[in-house]
Structure 1
Amino acid sequence: MHSHGGTLGTFTLIALTVAGAVYIAGTAGQRRRGHTAWPLARTVSWIAGLLAVAAVLVGPLGHAGGHDLTTHVLGHVVIGMVAPVLLVLGSPVTLARRTLEPVPLQRLGRLGRNPLTRALAFPVVAAVLAVGGSWLLYTGTTAADSTRDPALHSVVMIGFLLAGLLLTAGVVGVSAGIRRSPRWLRVSVAVLSTAVLCVEAALMDTAGVPGIPADQVRSASAALWIGAVLYAVALGVVVAGERGRDERAARDERAARDVQTAGPAREARPTPDTPVASDPAR
């Protein structure tokens, strides 16, 4: 754990551990609830995503990222691009819909219908937050400050994580009542976001980053554009396979309705709003 471990590091580890434990608890007993067994690949993806977050916030990338721009950018790529893809592919919303009791299930549905949630999940808005935040960071003095202030470094990385989750969910497509944007829009957002990040990396290389030694900037800019391209490829692969996931989602939805009407105990459980888009990893 790095220098600013203390309370922040402990809280981070506890939060990530709880997220992993709750997810695994939700996957257990799916057959007992009348569902098909939860896919192991989704569980592996979720746990890997949590480990990626831990590596950046309380692990070696977090420690080095607080002192070196190249490692800082690598942390950005891992927590803002790699971790969001892994976490979204873990299908936590689908797991929650299959596991939660009626009252929290209804609250989840209301959250999905909330105008703010819909706005943040819109791909264009999510891209502006994710890419705009990166641009402001590396063209201003905040990047240099965050390589010297461990607490600020953690705040910046958490911001990348949240923005990356929004962008990934917006491009891949989300459920819980949030309408999935047209494929052409989502693909366009992914392509344009990648282009902007590559331009940003080129500007970093040519103009430098305020307060950062020049010898650190070249490798940092290379890490940014490589990470952006790989992130776009990963999103493209997931979007390309969404038809098959939609078909599986429809089968799961029918099976869930059958389970809910199979007996008296299930009859009391309200059916959640049928999502207009499948969970990304279905």
Structure 2
Amino acid sequence: MHSHGGMLGTFTLIALTLAGAVYIVGAAGQRRRGHPTWPLARTVSWIAGLLAVAAVLVGPLGHAGNHDLTTHVLGHVVIGMLAPVLLVLGSPVTLARRTLEPVPLQRLGRLAGNPLTAALAFPVVAGVLAVGASWLLYTGTTAADSTRDPALHSVVMIGFLLVGLLLTAGVVGVSAGIRRSPRWLRVAVLVLATAVLCAEAVLMAVGGVPGIAAEQVPSSAVALAVGAVLYAVALGAVVATERRRDARAAREEQDLRSAAAARSAAPTGAGQEARPTDGAPVA
């Protein structure tokens, strides 16, 4: 753990470990609950996303607080672009719907359907937040400050994670529990966001970053531009395959309804199995 570990680093490790453990337990118990086996690819994606977050907040890339801007930008790309894609593709909301009891499931539904959540995850709003945060950081003095202040660095990276999750969920749509916007709008937001980030990278390379040594800027600008393009390509691939994901989501929804119907129709007697008599249906 790096120099700004302390309580924040310990809390981060505990939170990430719990998130991984709860997910694995939920995924492993699907057959016992009458659901199909949870796809291994989703579990791998979720765990990889958590590891990406850990690498930035308490791992090697966390040392950006004591190093150069390039490491800082790489941390931004990993936690604000790579990790959100991996976490959202882990389909945690779908897993929760297949695992939680009715009361906490209703609360989750209210949270996902909250107008504020829907507004923040609307692709245009999420895109403005994600791109705006990056633009403000690298055109002002905050970038320089966060490469020297470990606590500020952690706050900045957590902010990138949150806005990255919003944008990714807004673009991916239903697999994250967010109502999907029209495809043309999501693609347009991706293209515009990538263009703005690449323009930002060019401005960084040409005009520099306040408070940062000039020799650190070119590689940082390249890292930002390449990360933005790869993020757009990854999300574009997800959008391109959404029909297949829709079909799978429909099957999962049917599984959920069938399991709920089976539970509601199950006998409630004191440990005795009800049997039909005289041809009468079981209540």
Q: TM-score range by the shorter chain?
A: over 0.9
SS at match of 2:174: coil
Which residue of the partner structure matches residue 59 of structure 2?
59
TM-score normalised by the chain length of structure 1: 0.92
Root-mean-square deviation (CA, aligned residues, Å) is: 1.5
Indicate if the aligned counterparts of 1:79 and 1:157 stay in contact, CA closer than 8 A.
yes
Which residue of the partner structure matches residue 44 of structure 1?
44
SS at match of 1:261: helix
CA 1:7–1:177: 2 relative to 1, 3 Å: closer
Indicate if the aligned counterparts of 1:126 and 1:166 stay in contact, CA closer than 8 A.
yes
Q: 2:266, 2:6 → 1: CA distance?
A: 46
Which residue of the partner structure matches residue 168 of structure 2?
168
Q: 1:156, 1:166 → 2: CA distance?
A: 16
Which residue of the partner structure matches residue 188 of structure 1?
188
CA 1:91–1:177: 2 relative to 1, 3 Å: closer
Which residue of the partner structure matches residue 251 of structure 2?
251
Q: 1:204, 1:2 → 2: CA distance?
A: 28
Q: Unaligned 5+ residue runs, structure 1?
A: 269-282
Indicate if the aligned counterparts of 1:260 and 1:266 stay in contact, CA closer than 8 A.
no
Q: Unaligned 5+ residue runs, structure 2?
A: 269-283
1:37-64 deviation digits (Å, cap 9, x = unpaired): 0000000000000000000000111113
1:159-188 deviation digits (Å, cap 9, x = unpaired): 000000000011111357632100000000
SS at match of 1:211: coil
Q: Report whether the alignment pairs 1:22 with 2:22.
A: yes
User: Counterpart of 1:144 in structure 2: which amino acid?
Assistant: A
Indicate if the aligned counterparts of 1:138 and 1:204 stay in contact, CA closer than 8 A.
yes
User: Counterpart of 2:163 in structure 1: which amino acid?
Assistant: A
Q: Answer with 1 or 2: which has the greater Rg.
A: 2
Indicate if the aligned counterparts of 1:52 and 1:83 stay in contact, CA closer than 8 A.
yes
User: Counterpart of 2:180 in structure 1: which amino acid?
Assistant: R
CA 1:114–1:175: 2 relative to 1, 3 Å: farther
Q: Report whether the alignment pairs 1:262 with 2:252.
A: no
TM-superposed deviation, 1:263: 3.8
Q: 1:130, 1:28 → 2: CA distance?
A: 34
Indicate if the aligned counterparts of 1:66 and 1:146 stay in contact, CA closer than 8 A.
no
How many residue pairs are counted as aligned between the two chains? 268
Structure with larger RCO (C-alpha < 8 A, sep 6+):
1
TM-score normalised by the chain length of structure 2: 0.92
Indicate if the aligned counterparts of 2:91 and 2:176 stay in contact, CA closer than 8 A.
no
User: Counterpart of 1:152 in structure 2: which amino acid?
Assistant: L
Which residue of the partner structure matches residue 215 of structure 2?
215
